[in-house]
Structure 1
């Protein structure tokens, strides 16, 4: 799902960077997320928080460690998700 429409940044891109150990500020600098209109900032922060809460997924310096990617369970569970369509469906 596209989180930042201005910069066309998806939740998967944000999650990939967060799982690589980057902070929100580093992700913001790298991808440009939440640097234009700012409407996506809380949603982007929620994606980063969910990734950090699940812990590191792959050991970056250990080549023998299994490498997997775990994305957020559901972006609709985020407090930032406040779409009128989502509200009507619930």
Structure 2
């Protein structure tokens, strides 16, 4: 589905950008051009980035010990 009609940016394009480390609208704009035209895609682009952030829990695996630690 197209998110940014002005620049032809799809939902998959934004998801791909998020997977490559884009985590803000300003970074998304500089990487893809999304949100830099009429701006009507801003809310949907934010939602897609937010969905990716909430699904990306890799950092929790680093913080979660495999066994309880007792000192």
> d(CA) in 2 for partners of 1:14 and 1:56?
18
Which SS does the other structure have where 2:34 is aligned? coil
Which SS does the other structure have where 1:3 is aligned? strand
**Structure 1 unmatched runs, 5+:** 58-90
**Structure 2 unmatched runs, 5+:** 59-71
How do 1:1-90 residues align onto structure 2 when only pairs under 5 Å count? 1-24=1-24, 25-55=26-56
TM-score by length of 2: 0.73
TM-score by length of 1: 0.59
Name whichever structure is richer in helix by fraction: 2
Moved over 4 A (4+): none
Q: Is the radius of gyration larger for structure 1 or structure 2?
A: 2
> d(CA) in 2 for partners of 1:13 and 1:48?
11
